[in-house]
Structures are given as structure tokens and as C-alpha cells.
Amino acid sequence: MKKIILSATLLTSSFFYAQVRVGIESNNQYYLDDDKIKIDEKEAEDRLRSNTYIKVDYFKNKWEFGTQVESYYPKAIINYNPDLQDVNIGTIYARYNDIENGVNITLGHFYEQFGSGLILRSWEDRALGINNALFGMNAKFRLTKNLDLTALGGKQRIGMGFDFSDSYVLGTNLEFNAADALKLENTDLRFGASYVGRLNEEKVTEYEGINDLTNAFSGRFNLGIGGFNFGTEYIHKQKDIVIANEDYVDGTFLEGNAILVNLGYNKDNFGSSVNLRRMENMTFYSDRKLAGNQYNKGVINYVPALTKQYDFSLQNIYVYQAQGGINWFEKRNGEIGGQYDFYYDFVEGTKLGGKYGTHLAVNGSYWGGLKSTYDFENNKLEDEFLKFGEKYYSDIAVEVRKRWSPTFQTITMYMNQYYNAPVLEGKFDDVKTDIVSVEGLYNFSETSSVRFQLQNMWASADKGDWGAALLEYVPNTMFSIYVTDMYNYGNSHAESRIHYYSVGGSFSKGATRIAVNYGRQRGGLMCVGGVCRYVPESNGVTLNLTTNF
């Protein structure tokens, strides 16, 4: 009996000296049909869909243990990866983290990014249905005060927790803080180098010349002096067989590469940045035949669209997706272009600043394909390094944020777009748009406000012109309610003009938030951080719950 009491005492004591963290997220949808929108017959049998995640992490001294249990029951939300099914372990890990001595070792599932991610990024985004965690070992060491090393290896998750790709991903990364080592004051100077390899578990024998190991290398540096910042990164991917229509193009092998340049200057009330990128055959998957799949399964690297992520709904109808891969038969390879941002704050008391100041922002982007020459007879492709091919996308936007009184402020935006729909979506006509958006926010108190939006888009093709409106009321810190509508009133087919209305609200208290929504969802691309997934048209009720304790 004494032994039992002693064991219980030790266990209780251990618990109090440890920390447990639990996070729950549940996204539920019930799909309905109406006179305008009906879900696909194949999906109609299971109208209730749910994606639920329960993450538990345990911390004690230098040790961490954690797991994420995932439930896609009775089925995952429509158009998520079909490999996500039932209830199972999503991820599990054990980590030793000795901050003082610069040692961090993880066994099990882990996430990692080298540089900008163009060579390696494993990450989770539940809204997109992405979880490209690696399962194996990730070891980080601080070799000196200014030199860090990462070495990793494992298999990539492509479905539920223990559903892996048929290859191993290997990688190393070095980060050197040169400014600190050289004791440079008011200067940030860093260098980095990375290696990532994909090692096939089984040899491909039906095609000649395919290597079991495909290698990629990168180098980068970043320099910051005062308000000026300059960084660049170059990635080279070893020659590998071309994939088209989920199959090998026999005898066709191409290298891949990417160069990224970032420039920025910020001082006082002025700021600007320019991001330039050229990519050629830069898709990199843990299984070659996953290339181009719509669920982002098996993606080793991170290739986001370098365009501004806009806040207004109509600005996100024609969104650009990065074209980093090769389409052999349609003669398209990679992309070249960039984006710029400029802002200026007119200070209070000036003519343009007014009594409370004015914020002006201008941003835009331009993207096109590489100018390429294809030689199908000899299975060759040549790209001209800095020459632009067919135009894919461009936008320019001007935003003015103005506070008119202590309680009222507005956002006014104009945006112009060009969208090459035949290339980007396989549609017939290019789309040119002009979009005007206005938002007003009135604060009744520090915790109560009302917000309204009005938008209009004039479009040259596709579904024609759109209008949109939103009204949101926040009575206090716990509740909010809203109503919104998007209407493609300019559709040339009158029977296809649809009001995408929605009404809902949320309740928040502490770390818990519950949101309910009823209405229609416009079909198209939904993007987070420049990566997108296709969302079908639907109508129904949505319930979302998030909490942490």
C-alpha cells in the first residue's frame, strides 16, 4: 500500500512540474441543395462532413511529446484529399530540446523549412487540407555561436499519419550569422546553404536513365543596413525525367532551377519592397507521379504565388497560382516576374494627412512564362534566361486608409487585373477586371463596432460583372454577427446569375471560439499564403469550433 501511495505521489508531483497543452479544432459542414446550387451526386450520400483535429503536447524539462488525432468522419469536407478518412493518428513526435547547449532533436513527425522554402518546406495548413509532415529524425545543432546545422531524413506523409510516400527525403542546412561573427554594428549579414535529396525506395526499371537519388542544392544570403535590405537565393535541382499527364515522358530529362531576389527599403513614414523570381521546372515531389495533383500531396518544396494577398472578396475571384512546373505537351515551363509594394504615411496635421493621418499603399505584380524553344524530336528544351514568354497575370492596386474621427475610419481601393484564363484555368477568354472597394468601420466604444463593405468588379469575360456587400456588427468582445452577398449580375446567361449570400456569427471567450454560418459558397480557388485549393460551389450550414487549454 505504501508503494502505491508513493508511486501516486511521484506521478502527481511529476504532473505539476510538467505542462500539458491541448488544442481542438472542428470544422463541420452540412450541404444543402437549392434551386441554383446542387452538390455532385457522388457526394450527396454524405451531406454531413467533418474535419476535426485534437492536438496534445506534453512538456517536461527538456523533453516534449505530442500527437495529433484527426477525424474525417463520416467523410472529409468536399474536395479535401480523399486519403483523409475515418479517425486515426495524424502526427506523433518526441523531442529533446536543450536551448542552452543548442541541441534540438525530434523523432517522429516534424515540420521544417530551409531558406524561403523553395528547396524544402514541410508544413500544415488545415484550411487547405495540407499536411506534408516528414516522419523520421530532425536534428538541429548550434556548432558555434554563429553557425547552426540541421540534418534530417524520413518519409513524407501523403495521407493519414502513417501513410507515406514511396521515397525518403534527406536534407542538411547551414545558417551562418556573419554580422555577429564579424561584430558588425547596425548590420545584418547572413549566409545559408541547403541540400535536399529524394531517394527512391524502389528502382524504376521500365525507363532508362532515371536515378534513384534526385538532388537539389541552394545558397542564399541576406544583407540589412539601416533601412535597406537585400536578399537572394538560388536553387538548382538535378536533371530528372519529365512527368506529363501523371506519366513519364520517355527519354526526356530536364534540370530545374529558381532564383529569388528580395529588395526593401523602410525609413520613417516610407516603405517599399520588390520581390523578383524566375523558376524553371521547379516542382519537387516525394513521388514523381504525384506531380501537379490538386491536393498538394507529396510536395517537398514551397512555391507560393508572389502576389499580394488581398482582403476583399471580389479581388480574390481571379487569383494567380505560381507556375513553377513544366507542361511538356502544351509548351509551358516555369514563370518569371515579380511584385512590388510601396507605402507612404501622410502624417497628422499635413494637407494630405488631415487631422488623423492618411496611409497610402500601391502594389502590383507581373508574371509570365519563360521564353522557351521545344525540340520534341530530340527531347530538348531551351529557355532564354531573362526573356518573358506569354503573359500569365498582372495586377495593380491603390489603397487609401483614412481615419476621419476618433470613431470612424475608411479603406478605399482600386484594382486592375489581367488574368490569362486559357492558360491558368483552361477557359476560352482572357479576363480583364477593374475593381472598386470601400470599407467603413465605426466604433461605438472600445469593444463595439459596425463594419460595412461595398464592392464592384467590371470583368471583360467569364461570368462578367460582380457586386458584393458586407455588414458586420460586433456588440462586445464575445459576439459578432454578419451578413454578406456576392452577385454576378453581369453574367451573359441570366439563368446563371447567382446571389452567393451568407449570414453568420461567432462567439469568443478566452481561447474558445464558435462560429456558425448559413449560405452559399462561390466555387473557385481559395488561397492561403499564396498556395491554393479548389473549392466547389455549395450551399449549407457550417459550424467551426476552436479551443485551447
Cis peptide bond prior to 82, omega within 30° of 0: no
Domain ranges for the chain: 307-549
- Cα-based distances in Å from 432 to 101, 318, 324, 457: 57, 10, 23, 10
d(CA 173, CA 115): 9
Helix H or strand E encompassing 259? strand 247-267
Nearby residues of 50 by Cβ (< 8 Å), 6 or more positions away: 26, 27, 28, 29, 71, 72, 73, 74, 77
At the second CATH level, the architecture of 307-549 is Beta Barrel (2.40)
pLDDT per residue, tens digit, the chain (549 aa), is: 444 343 333 334 444 457 999 999 999 999 999 988 988 888 888 899 999 999 999 999 999 999 999 999 999 999 999 899 999 999 999 999 999 999 999 999 999 999 999 999 999 999 999 999 999 999 999 999 999 999 999 999 998 888 999 999 999 999 999 999 999 989 999 999 999 999 998 777 777 888 899 999 999 999 999 899 999 999 999 999 888 877 888 888 889 999 999 999 999 999 999 999 999 999 999 998 888 888 999 999 999 999 999 999 999 999 999 998 888 778 888 999 999 999 999 999 898 899 999 999 999 999 999 988 877 667 777 778 888 999 999 999 999 999 999 999 999 999 999 999 999 988 889 999 999 999 999 999 999 999 999 999 999 999 999 999 999 999 999 999 999 999 999 999 999 999 999 999 999 999 999 999 999 999 988 888 888 888 899 999 999 999 999
Contacts of 353 (CB under 8 A, 6+ apart): 345, 346, 347
DSSP 8-state assignment for residue 511: T
Cell 527519354 sits on residue: 251
Radius of gyration over every alpha carbon of the chain, rounded to an integer in angstroms: 26
pTM: 0.92
Distance between CA atoms of 173 and 152, rounded to whole angstroms? 9
